[in-house]
Chain A
Amino acid sequence: MGTGRSDRSTTRLAIVALIGVVVYMGFSMYAAGTARRVEFAALYRAHILITVILLAVCAGAAAYLAGMRQARRLSTFSDEYKKAFEQIAVRISTSGMSSQEKKEASADILDILSLAQNDGRSVKEMLGDDPDAFAEKVVAAYAGDPGPAFTLLTSFQFLAAGLAVVHCAIYLFAGRSEGSIFSVGIGNLTILFIMLASLVQPVLVRTVRHSATRTNAGNLLVTPLVLMVAFPAVVGAVYIGVSRLLRTWFPSAAWARMVLDGETNLISSPLALIFLALALVGAHVLKRRLRRITTVA
């Protein structure tokens, strides 16, 4: 009975810690951006680095604790139940459901499976021949399957949110006063590759989802790991290859120089932030519309 309460306490503690770290980071960023003396600026930059490390440690600890909780619950499951739950969990996590819905559905299914196992029932008796079909029904009941357009919009939101963070940094460091301590510039080619990578995301999500099907359940761990290692490596290799080829084949072409050496003009102004915020909201509205269309009545 205490697990639910301790989960909530951990969540509350994590939120308070996160707010503390973000406020401290914001203060450090502001102080670094407005520092008049270089040595103070260096000190504040060290603070920012510390907060980034703290955030990474917090995120790692939260992921570890969540994994531990899940592992503790799953440790009471037989192999049959564990396999069924993992299959369902992958389908749900790669669906168009909101993060809250995913959490809720996973907790419900864990509870149902725990009770059924305690009653000595088989997975087949509970969910029929195919846990995937059950997962599909759950996804359809929550959100339908909005398809690649939905995943693409999510990628776009991540991209816009990332650019908004960069803009905030530019606005704080470069836009506030002259002689800023930071020089900010993102190459056009880099921006291009980030956009291409976000366009590939729907394919990656489909691949991970496919890896969880019954016929190749052994790939459940391998495929995501290969994607995590192989995908960035391939993107990096193509990035280097493209830049070298452009330099070799078009050494003096203006457009090639623009792509290779030009920097995307990230205007450090509140207007750009408003534009990005509108883009985020627009994507959110489109996603809701897609979900409404695809939800099973």
Chain B
Amino acid sequence: MPDTSQILKGLLEGCILSTVASEETYGYEICRQLAAQGFKGVSEGTVYPILIRLQRKGLLETTKRDSPLGPQRKYYHLTGKGADALRDFVTEWKTVRDVVERSVEGVSSNGNRTF
């Protein structure tokens, strides 16, 4: 199986914004959802620093709520700026995807191009 983790990590910021856009949620749950979407090699160690950066850029905001485990838990939601960034990401991703699809069109799984 090819190692797709490096490609996926590059797209992680956009996918985190997309996950948060669908519902207000907390860091650990975001990781669970990303894993369920196929980000297998992405752990909390990678996601948490990205969440901090997105928050500092003003793309995410947080609300604190009581958690059953004791300390208050931070719930993330998208800001207006974050929604704009997500829209840009989706547009850029679609462009990149189309370019890559055209580029690899006709390449078989053994690496040979078929005409």
Which of A's residues lie within 8 Å of B, judged by CB? 1, 3-5, 7, 72-73, 104-105, 107-112, 114-116, 118, 125-128, 133-134, 137-138, 140-142, 295-296
Residues of chain B within 8 A of A1, CB atoms compared: 66-68
Judge whether A138 and B49 touch: CB under 8 Å: yes
Closest residue of B by beta carbon distance from A107: B71
Scan B42-62; emit 1 where CB is below 8 A from any A CB, else 0.
011110111011001000000
- A259–B68 alpha-carbon span in the complex (Å): 60
Closest residue of B by beta carbon distance from A142: B52
Judge whether B52 and A126 touch: CB under 8 Å: no
Residues of chain A within 8 A of B49, CB atoms compared: 134, 137-138, 140-141
Number of A-B residue pairs having CB atoms within 8 Å of each other in the complex: 74
Picked from B28, B52, B72, B74, the residue with its CB within 8 Å of the CB of A138 is: B52
- Nearest-neighbour CB distance to chain B for A130, whole angstroms, equals 9
Which of B's residues lie within 8 Å of A, judged by CB? 26-28, 43-46, 48-50, 52-53, 56, 66-74
Picked from A73, A107, A127, the residue with its CB within 8 Å of the CB of B72 is: A107
Judge whether A112 and B52 touch: CB under 8 Å: no
Judge whether A111 and B45 touch: CB under 8 Å: no
Closest residue of B by beta carbon distance from A127: B45
Judge whether B44 and A116 touch: CB under 8 Å: yes
Closest residue of B by beta carbon distance from A3: B70
- A213–B49 alpha-carbon span in the complex (Å): 20
Judge whether B44 and A126 touch: CB under 8 Å: yes
Other A-B pairs beyond A73-B71, A108-B74, A112-B28, 4, CB < 8 Å: A114-B69, A114-B70, A137-B49, A141-B50
Judge whether A4 and B66 touch: CB under 8 Å: yes
Closest residue of B by beta carbon distance from A109: B48
User: What are 7 A-B interface contacts by the 8 Å CB criterion?
Assistant: A107-B72, A111-B27, A115-B69, A118-B69, A125-B43, A127-B43, A141-B49
Residues of chain B within 8 A of A111, CB atoms compared: 26-28, 67, 69, 71, 73-74
